[in-house]
Chains A and B, each alone.
Chain A
Amino acid sequence: MTKHLIRAALVGAMVTAAALFVATTRAGAEHDGMRHPIYMPNVNNIGNPALQPPPICCLPGSPFAAGVPVPPNMGYYGGHVQVTPKVYLVFWGWGQAGAFDHTTPGAPTDDPDGAAQRMTNFVKAMGGTDWAGVQTQYYETDNGQNVYIQNPTNQFGGAWYDDTNPIHDNVTGLELAQEAQRAVAHFGVTDLHSSQFIIAQPQKYDEEGFNSGAGYCAWHDYTQQQYYPGVQEGISFTNMPYVLNSGTSCGQNSVNTGFYAGRLDGFSIVLGHEIEETVTDPGAEDVINGVNLGGWYDQSAWENGDKCAWVGYTDGITAPSTVPGGLNNITGNDGKKYPVQSLWSNDAAGGTGYCAGAGNDLPG
């Protein structure tokens, strides 16, 4: 705790200045057309300028280095974090006709590859792990008090197979936000601050940008009227396409090498990235009417997942788990293995910060 307080004081001083600066400058950029969700680029688009976070005004971004940890440390921008995270999974249209082009013996027709089951198991199993525990160093400030993110064993809010509200191919971000709002009602969620909604799409009905080859695997965002008109404000949600459609670009076999053993790797890697970014930055870097809703990210607006995305990825030539902070299997609270990427830890490397939590951290 002492360590937290010291760092909090230092970071607080820096961030207060930065936040004031950001609040007064980025506010003017709210409607400049540059605002977009926080993308997770695929392996082939890590450095794609179009997929980088919206710029924090007037601070130059760091140069991009594909597949390596990205310093410097993250700062706190004044918004809330998800102190007691609850993750709600929405499998939108997975049981709808045409959602999949194949079946698998022994598997449900609405989940022939086991992707929904894998994501559900992962969310149920990630609570209490060292990986999710990386988040406990980050906090929100309420009335001058720092309230730290917790890592409870149960972070699973529920799963909803929504085959009632029809989905279609090339759904828009607005439609995903609308589905998130329906999920809020379906689950009866009243605490939006610590809740997030994963809108998972089936093989044949995916989000338009993912389908178009924009180069990302997923993104997360926060509903605000100017960006999602007509949708209830304050919902943190993730666009989770069927990443197996992108194959190795979005994680297939990037940790486990067997065709079947690694086929679903991307689902927990990408989902984990988005979940933990939402936990530390549920406001998705939004600045509304001069108020910064963002939580934790660095001066280039990279969040804790962005800074460690695809670290160690080597096209399968060497195992990523041999690289500190590289993609790796973690053991969930159910005793099973789940491939994940690491998460940025300001505490790691003696406070310099590094990618951590995936079981292959830097020593010390």
Chain B
Amino acid sequence: MSRAKALVVLVPAALALFAGVAIASSTSVTITTPKEGQTFSKKRVPQLPVTGGVTFAAANQNTSLFYVRRNGCGTSSDNPHLSISTGTDAGSGCGSLINGVVGAGGDADAGAFVDYATADGMPLSLDTSRNVTGTFDIQGFIGPGQAGVMEADVSLEALVDGQGVEIGSVTEMVVLDPTASDNLVDFTITPNAGLDQKDLSGIDLRLHLHGPYAFSGFVATNGLSFVNVPSYTASTHKGVLLSLDDPTFASPIPVAINSAGDGWSVVIPTPAVGKHTLYVQSVQGFDASSVVARHFTVDK
């Protein structure tokens, strides 16, 4: 299957997902031929070339930075989440660790974890050729008076086509220093290659702290804890939908996009004698252009 055809196959599903959603678009489309109001003879023009122009946002490699944030602590507004914006968090001070030390070889683990799901910054096109990196800043650590090992299980999950899919996970070992104001847990996750260039609707970062010397403390917010997700500046999934006499695009006609990515074309059988309308729309990931209509007439 050619790349153009593959894209066209993907597009109807994406269009169906955001049916009814009005969004500002970074992609646009035009119809060059036929001209508005043009008339064709079905006998002399049995095949009708349809062409146009299209623009898409550039899909360059990018890194999406999400801050670990929390608006409240133990209140109804307690909402651990990820945001592309940072600021002062009333929730800094949440996230007590285990309150237990079992010493070397043991594992104080209450099974507790905290999910930080994205509240903004979505959608995102994932680039799995690079690793996810980040840092959790553990503050207020009150240990047993000595340095000890804690384990941080960090996992990243994506929402893809309405389903939860694991991006990757890692367990980082960190030596906690009870005399330090900040203990940094740096993590690196190799992402699931099967998700490369997928358009993600959401991301969840889960942190589970345990280990021989896990004790009380909290995950600092206020910009101190964060995750860097390798991404593209726009979706790499691009397509142009063409429909004859059906503004709902229920059965779009496959079109080819040129190698420069700025034009499209297809040849369709000239339709029956009468007045007709062509509808065209470009899509890029979850983004869609306005629908452009072109009227023409077919006579004998």
Q: Check: A165 CB closer than 8 A to any chain B CB.
A: no
The answer to whether A260 and B202 touch across the interface, beta carbons within 8 angstroms, is: yes
Known A-B contacts A259-B157, A316-B111; A105 and B122 likewise in contact (beta carbons under 8 Å):
yes
Q: Is B260 an interface residue (CB 8 A)?
A: no
B18 and A106 contacting across the interface, CB-CB below 8 Å: yes
* A109 interfacial by beta-carbon distance below 8 Å: yes
Any B CB within 8 A of the CB of A262: yes
The reply to whether B17 and A107 form a contact with Cβ atoms under 8 Å apart is yes
Contact across chains for A259 and B201 when beta carbons are under 8 A apart: no
Q: Given A260-B164, A260-B204, A261-B164 in contact, is the A106-B17 Cβ separation under 8 Å?
A: yes
Pair A258/B166 contact, Cβ less than 8 Å: yes
> Which residues 256-295 in A have Cβ within 8 Å of B in the complex?
256, 258-263
Considering the chains assembled together, what is the distance between the CA atoms of A117 and B202 in angstroms? 17
Which one of B21, B165, B202 lies within 8 Å of A109 (CB-CB)? Answer: B21
Interface contact A106-B201, CB-CB below 8 Å? yes
Q: A259-B117, A260-B158, A261-B164 are in contact. Are A106 and B286 (CB under 8 A)?
A: yes
| B115 close to A (CB within 8 Å) | yes
Known: A260-B157, A317-B111. A107 touches B20 (CB 8 A): no
B20 is contacted by which of A106, A109, A256, A259 (Cβ under 8 Å)? A109
A114 on the interface (CB 8 Å rule)? yes
A118→B115 CA distance, assembly (Å): 22
- Which of B17, B122, B157 sits near A261, CB closer than 8 Å? B157
Closest-CB distance, B235 to chain A (whole angstroms):
10
CB-CB contacts below 8 Å: B87-139 with A:
111, 115, 117, 122-123
CA separation between A118 and B111, bound complex, in Å?
Answer: 28
Residue of B nearest to A317 (CB): B111
Query: B295 at interface (Cβ–Cβ under 8 A)?
Result: no
- Chain A residues with Cβ under 8 A from B14's Cβ? 106
Size of A's binding interface in residues, CB under 8 A: 20
Task: Encode contact with B along A302-333: 1 for CB under 8 Å, 0 otherwise.
Answer: 00000000000000110000000000000000
CA distance A317 to B122 in the complex (A): 32
Whole-angstrom distance between the alpha carbons of A104 and B162 in the complex?
10
Q: Is the CB of A108 closer than 8 A to any CB of chain B? A: yes
Residues of B contacting A256 in the complex (Cβ-Cβ under 8 angstroms): 164
A108 and B21 form a contact (CB under 8 A): yes
Q: Is B276 an interface residue (CB 8 A)?
A: no
B199 within 8 A of A: yes
For the complex, give the distance between the alpha carbons of A106 and B20 in Å. Answer: 11
Cβ-neighbour of A110 out of B20, B158, B162 (below 8 A): B20
Q: How many Cβ-Cβ contacts under 8 Å join chain A to chain B?
A: 63
The 8 A CB mask of B142-178 against A (1 = contact, 0 = none) is 0000000000000001110111111000000000000
The answer, among B159, B165, B204, for a CB contact under 8 Å with A104, is B159
Knowing A105-B123, A106-B123, A106-B199 are in contact, say whether A261-B21 is a contact too (CB < 8 A): no
| Contacting residues, chain B, for A106 (C-beta < 8 A) | 14, 17-18, 123, 161-162, 199, 201, 286
* Cβ 8 A contact of B163, one of A105, A108, A260, A317: A260
Other-chain residue from B111, B123, B162, B164 in contact with A259 (beta carbon distance below 8 A): B164
Q: Within 8 Å CB of B115, what residues of A?
A: 259
**From B17, B117, B286, residue with most partner A Cβ within 10 Å:** B17
Q: Is the CB of B19 within 8 A of A105?
A: no
Contact between B20 and A114, CB atoms less than 8 A apart: no
Cβ 8 A contact of B19, one of A108, A258, A317: A108
Complex: A202 Cα to B137 Cα, angstroms: 38
| Closest B residue by C-beta to A315 | B111
| Residues 16-43 of B at the A interface (beta carbon under 8 Å) | 17-21
Within the complex, the shortest CB–CB distance from B63 to chain A, in Å, comes to 19
- Which A residues are in CB contact (< 8 Å) with B18? 106-108
The chain A residue sitting closest to B199, CB to CB, is A106
Chain B: which residue is nearest A111 at the CB level? B162
Closest to A113 in B: B162
The answer on a CB contact under 8 Å between A108 and B204 is no
The digit string for A95-116, where 1 denotes a CB below 8 A from any CB of B, is: 0000000011111111000100
Complex CA distance for A256 and B206, rounded to whole angstroms: 14
Q: Measured between alpha carbons, how far is A105 from B235 in the docked complex, in Å?
A: 12
Specify which of B19, B159, B199 is in contact with A260 (CB 8 Å cutoff): B159
A107 touches B157 (CB 8 A): no
- Interface positions, chain A 110-136, Cβ under 8 Å from B, are 110, 114, 117-118
A260: chain B residues at CB < 8 Å are 117, 157-159, 163-165, 202, 204
User: Within the complex, what minimum Cβ distance (angstroms) separates A101 from chain B?
Assistant: 12
Provided the pairs A259-B117, A260-B163 are in contact, do residues A104 and B20 lie with their beta carbons within 8 angstroms?
no
Cα A254 to Cα B216 in complex, Å, equals 27
A119 to B202 alpha-carbon distance, docked (Å): 21
**Residue numbers in B under 8 Å from A108 (CB-CB):** 17-21
* CB of B122, distance to nearest CB on chain A (Å): 5
Residues of A within 8 A of B (CB): 103-110, 114, 117-118, 256, 258-263, 316-317
Known: A106-B161, A106-B286. 4 other contacts (CB 8 A): A104-B122, A105-B122, A258-B164, A259-B117
Instruction: Show 18 A/B contacts (Cβ-Cβ < 8 Å), sorted by A.
Output: A104-B122, A104-B202, A105-B123, A105-B202, A106-B123, A106-B199, A106-B286, A107-B18, A108-B18, A108-B20, A109-B20, A114-B162, A256-B164, A258-B204, A259-B115, A259-B164, A261-B165, A262-B164
Q: Interface of B with A (CB < 8 Å)?
A: 14, 17-21, 111, 115, 117, 122-123, 157-159, 161-166, 199, 201-202, 204, 206, 286
Closest 6 A/B residue pairs (Cβ): A260-B164, A261-B164, A259-B204, A105-B123, A114-B162, A258-B164
